[in-house]
Structure 1
Amino acid sequence: MTSASRILPGAIGMCFVGSSVGVSHALIDAPLFTAQALRYALATVLLVVVVRMVGVRVLRPRGVEWLWLGGVAATGMVIFNVAIVRGVEHAEPAVIAVAVAGAPVLIGVAGPLLEGRVPRPRVAAAAVVVTAGSVLVVGTGETDATGVAWAAVALGCEAAFTLLAIPVLSRHTAWGVSLHTIWIATLMLAGIGLVREGSRAVLRLDAAELAAIGYLAVIVTTVAFVLWYSTVARIGSARAALLCGLAPVAAAVVGIATTGRAPTLPVWAGIAVVMLGLVVGLRTPTSGAATPAGPPRVAEAHAVA
């Protein structure tokens, strides 16, 4: 089994991501692009402060790296958050959360290819098990065709968030990838918000919306991003992707507090299936294991926790 210290950051990060779906519901009536721009601007400031406190050197992107980092920002932050907020207008949060859980199937195959390796059948099979368990956890929920479409968009963006970072993660580490993509996303969202919502849109945000933005900026962005990319760099994208199965599990557990209802039997069965898939997929290979992407100094990212 991959040591707990190597997978714990990613597991915590995915639990935070699972909680974000319900929190994003508070932004349905907010000026969306402006709210998200404020979120990422705050996260940028916080991450810069933390980077300076721990003395991590963040490298300047060069050449084609700008395209990879821009792709992560556009898909994993801009489009993904539009899909989440607009999706919960048409579907229960559980329906959108299960899209995140479907990412292991995509990443488990595409990730190793981007890392120059052949996908391992055991990891790919475990990804399918984790995804199946996640579907049991959240159920199908209530939705319409638009909700299903936004869930599909969220799935693609969640996979891109990891896959597009692989080519630059080794050089920039979890810190650099997180910081660069966050400030790039801030500029993208601010520009779109200025055009679509106007320069005074920020004044329309109420207390509940500002609280949701603060939670998303600090917990889901600043902390979760570095935790996630640290795990990807340590154990590789294929095995790290299995942790996506924890997002809907976290959503189900948080649902107890928000709805006052205990999970049904299918939910508990789904949790058991997810745990089984994680155990199988995260086991340390006995031979011929490829070294995960990223240098040892990615361990510095643990300072965020």
Structure 2
Amino acid sequence: MHREPHRSAPAGTHPAYYVPGAVGMALVGGSVAVSHVLVDAPLMTAQAIRYAAAAAVLILCARILGRAVPMPRRRDWPLLVLLAGSGLVLFNVALVRGAEHAEPAAIAVAVASVPVVLGLLGPLLESSSPSRRLLAAAATVTAGSVLVQGFGRTDAYGVGWAAVALACEAAFTLLAVPLLPRLGAWGVSVHSVLVGTAMFAVLALLTEGPTAAARIQRDQWVAIAYLAILVTAVAFVLWYATVARVGAASAGLLTGVAPVAAAGVGIVVTGDVPGAGVWVGVAVVAAGLALGLGRRRTTAPAQRDPQMRTGVGGPTPASTAASDG
């Protein structure tokens, strides 16, 4: 299996390969209003149900679509446990605990820095060097995301939880990089969700008790179903497909789509038109994406994409030269 000599730059990558990741991030951003419905629900129990349902959907869809879901090898399990424990479980805990000390925008601003983290660390995991152009684009996308989301008040504990949320968000992608070449987007998605389900189930039993599900209301069940199907099952596969095809650094830029999608959903749900700062932020995010993803060489790079097996999103390598969890 070949590797590109300079994986941090998406040279020669077909534009269609960014579409799955962008759609996945749009689904994540659009879930903000839905997630708010679960504020009063038993958190761990709701998340355990969400991920259990997502695992069932993923396995069923993989079977129907004929997608390969390889079994992890022994050395894969520690990474899967770390991925699920940080990117799924601890991330949700950080959001909840952080909200006790900081306004949501403050946490969101920290998480908005993930393109820079992926731009720095992603290429190192892919045996290449960080690209200055991608880092500049990542900083631009982060700045635009901050403008879209706004700032919020916080204290020292809030800053700490915001940092934890940022680290967990980055880990969700970075820990998948070594797993994707063998497990593919479907394998990483299925197994990380299964591990996350087990973790949430244990936490739910310990902290909320075995009858907590009875306290979940009808609208909360609908929200859980939406999050399970679209924001977990669908978005995970789309995201990891993109990471596998274009690399973590380039895929990281697409996280800027999430706050833009959240702002768009906010307009639809509330009818309130955002202020000028939000629109400037949207434009800055678009500029960052154009800077990072718009310039490509015409020569196609060597293939290393495990999704050639899975066929998730975009053309096949036979029809072109060559989404992120």
Q: TM-score, normalised by structure 1?
A: 0.92
Paired letter, 2:24 = G
Go from structure 1 to structure 2 and tell me whether the alpha carbon gap of 1:138 and 1:265 turns closer, same or farther (over 3 Å shift).
same
Matched, 1:245 2:261: no
Equivalences for residues 1-305 of structure 1 within 5 A: 2-88=13-99, 91-143=102-154, 145-286=156-297, 294-297=305-308, 300-302=311-313
1:39 aligned partner, one-letter code: R
Q: Which moved more, 1:66-75 or 1:141-150?
A: 141-150
State the shift of 1:24 in Å: 2.1
Q: Higher helix fraction: Structure 1 or Structure 2? A: 1
Give a deviation string over 1:83-105, Cα, whole Å, max 9, x none: 23444455554443333321000
Q: Structure 2 length normalisation: TM-score?
A: 0.86
Task: Name the CA distance, whole Å, in 1 between partners of 2:102 and 2:309.
Answer: 38
* Paired letter, 1:61: P
Paired residue for 2:319? Answer: none
Equivalents in 1 of 2:112, 2:177: separation in Å?
19
Cα distance change on mapping 1:11 and 1:298 into 2, 3 Å: farther
CA distance in 1, matches of 2:33, 2:97: 12
Q: 1:293 to 1:166 in 2, by over 3 A?
A: farther
Return closer, same or farther for 1:298/1:103 CA change in 2, 3 Å cut-off.
Answer: farther
The alignment-based identity, stated in percent, is 54
Q: Flag the 1:149–1:300 CA change in 2: closer, same or farther, 3 A.
A: same
Aligned equivalents of 1:94 and 1:19: distance in 2?
16
Kindly indicate whether the alpha-carbon contact (under 8 Å) linking 1:9 and 1:228 is maintained by their aligned counterparts in 2: yes
Report the Cα distance in structure 1 between the residues aligned to 2:188 and 2:155, rounded to whole angstroms.
36
The gaps in structure 2 that reach 5 residues or longer are 1-11, 315-322
Look up the equivalent residue of 1:41 and give its one-letter code: A
Structure 1 contact 230–298 (Cα < 8 Å) conserved: no
Gaps of 5+ in 1: none
TM-aligned CA distance change 1:261 to 1:36, over 3 Å: same
Give the count of matched residue pairs.
304
Alpha-carbon distance change, 289 to 84 in structure 1, aligned in 2, over 3 angstroms: farther
Shift of 1:38: 0.3
SS of 2:210's partner is coil
Q: Which residue of 1 aligns with 2:317?
A: none
After superposition, the Cα gap between the structure-2 partners of 1:243 and 1:229, relative to the gap in structure 1 and judged at 3 Å, is same
2 CA distance for matches of 1:179 and 1:151?
27
The offset of 1:57, in angstroms, is 2.0
* Amino acid across the alignment from 2:164: V
Name the CA distance, whole Å, in 1 between partners of 2:108 and 2:264: 13
